[in-house]
Amino acid sequence: MENYRCVTSVQEIQEYIGDSKIIAFDYETAPDEPYRTEEKAALDPHKSHIVGCSFSAKEHTGIYVPVAHKIGENIENSTFLHFLHSFLTNKNIIKIAHNIAFESAVSCHQDIVIQPPVYDTICAAQMTLKSNYEFRKLTDSGLKRLAAELCHEPLPTFSDVTNGRHFDELDAQDSETIRYGCADSDFALRLYHIFNNWFDCFLPKHRYIVEQIESPTAVYLGIMKHNGVPVDADLMKSRHQEAEQHMQRIRNEITMLIGDVEIGANCGTKAFKDYLYQTLKLPVMKVTASNKEAADDSSMIMLKEWCNVNRPELSSLFTLVQEYRKWGKIKSTYIDGYLKYLNSATGRIHPDFFALSTETGRMNCRNPNLQNCPRKSNDPIGVRNFIKAPEKHLILSLDFSQIELRVGAFYCRDRTMMETYQNGGDIHAATTSVIFGCTYEEAQDKHRKEYKEQRTIAKNVNFGTFYGLFPKGLQSTLKFKAGVEKSIPECEEIIRNLKAGYHALTTWQEETKRNATGKMYIETWLGRRRYLSNIRSDNWGLKSFAERCALNTPIQGTAADILKLAIVRILEGLPSRRWLKPILQIHDELTFIIPKEKLNEAVDFIRECMEKQPFTEFDLPLVAEASAGESFGNLEELEG
């Protein structure tokens, strides 16, 4: 039987906690008055307030501390917040929460930066197996589901307890209010012990990752979500009109060529496909997974090339289709898609960040996905300029330079690669030299006639080097991503030269695939595991994909771990740098808002956190390149 009770003084909290060093906590929140009718406002720290907080220092026990209930007795607010700050920043207490990113965002709104050691049971859940070869997904990791599955106790739902009311409308001293509030902390504490026992038995390295990497990273993600991304809404609305005008112009031009065929939002309608393949009788260059005629971008490029030779009067159609799609994506994804998520309380975008939604441990972002901001080279309306620093502030970004290539060189131990990085050299020049047989100095000579094309090829080869290059795939990558045409025999020669020039590369690849086949899993350097159940498959396609994952995961996953280790160091430095506001993480890049006068101090601190040796075996230098500006689209590189 659970022993839950309500307390309304800091003294009672301290008496309950005693000298415990492992304590779970949980917030209950409710919308502020202007947002009482807004759906999910209680989950937005800018539109809500803390109604109560529970603590559990021993399984099957808990205390509920009412803070802002409209009915019943509450604790004195400022006294409680003072205690809360002391508790959440205490480096001698392991602070446990289920989805600590939410608690972090709410705490951040109270000017509290939660400090490690911390433990997020939702992270721990995702690092445990739900079957022989499958880790739990986020959807498998809700507290109520885990309580029923692992503790064999059903928990009441929020709607069961509130019955359509906000939480601050419940009686603070009512037994159901207390039970609901305390259960979240109690069961988080129980899960802490359950998961750690499982890790200790089956995957000890995952316990280290949860405790030292993923849980503090979750706190940082909550801070980013709370801070939000400042945007220039007027510029976005202006660009919306511009995109509409471009799309109307292109629609008119397409209509002039094909008549009143319905093309839809991106020229992907059945009517448009029927027009291409049945009315015009154009050849089917590619089919979909369901064996239907494809009309994706690569199909349009191939059809244009065919028409250049066979039906030149139709070539311009495919140029227009590509342009129409480009503007359609800009409008739907980067203008309408961003405007939809403007927060009415802050005027900023507060996306959701996820640290464990990919197999390799890389982070991702949704609602909206700000990680897919187009690069300057493919950004006709300046989407990155939508992200704009407040007055007297700057946007600062630090980006790991070629981190996956450095991690790959560390893994395969190729002397040429390692010496290039250890000497501060140019890996793209080194690869140009290897695959084209020129000297390293010639590869760096920008005045040489072949310089641009060879370097472009070398860059694209480098980013696929460790993951297993195939001639056809390389040909496609060079054609569609770099605009360079190479025959299959030329691609075969490039790969042959690459393997001959980087002797240790092939050895590492073959050993890695062989080991993964034996174990049926692969791990990052720190032990993040990914199961590859198809690596012994008789189906060549499934086996080949699993082998690519075996090569990709240690590199991409170790690079992700290195970035998260840097994030943990930054988190620990935030309380003494309240002016440093993390807002974004994009691949290998961390982005902040800072006061202009703090630029040098911020760069020095963040660079130190990022370039520090991530673990004792890593013997190559890490380089973080800094850039700053008043908008994300106009960042200028800073001297190292």
pLDDT at position 640: 66
Dihedrals φ, ψ of 305, to 5°? -65, -40
Residues 431-471 pLDDT 10s: 999 899 899 999 999 999 889 889 988 888 887 878 777 88
**Phi-psi map region of 128: left, alpha, beta (phi>0 left; psi -120 to 50 alpha):** beta
pLDDT at position 521: 97
Of 108-122, 171-185, 297-311, 339-353, the poorest mean pLDDT is in 297-311
pLDDT at position 1: 56
For residues 389 and 232, the answer to whether their CB atoms sit within 8 Å is: no
Strands 22-31 and 94-97: parallel
Measured over the CA atoms of residue 125, residue 129, residue 131 and residue 134, the dihedral's sign is positive
Residues 403-425 pLDDT 10s: 999 999 999 999 999 999 999 99
Strands 352-354 and 529-531: unpaired
The Cα–Cα gap between 434 and 396 comes to 36
Of 342-351, 361-370, 493-502, the poorest mean pLDDT is in 493-502
The Cα–Cα gap between 150 and 131 comes to 14
Dihedrals φ, ψ of 588, to 5°? -105, 20
**Phi-psi map region of 73: left, alpha, beta (phi>0 left; psi -120 to 50 alpha):** beta
Using pLDDT thresholds of 50, 70 and 90, give the confidence band for residue 273: very high
pLDDT at position 368: 94
Answer whether residue 597 shows pLDDT above 60: yes
- Reported in sequence order, the residue ranges of 328-432 that DSSP labels E, i.e. its strands, are 348-349, 352-354, 364-366, 393-400
Over range 596-621, report the average pLDDT. 98
Pick the most confident of 211-215, 261-265, 284-288. 211-215
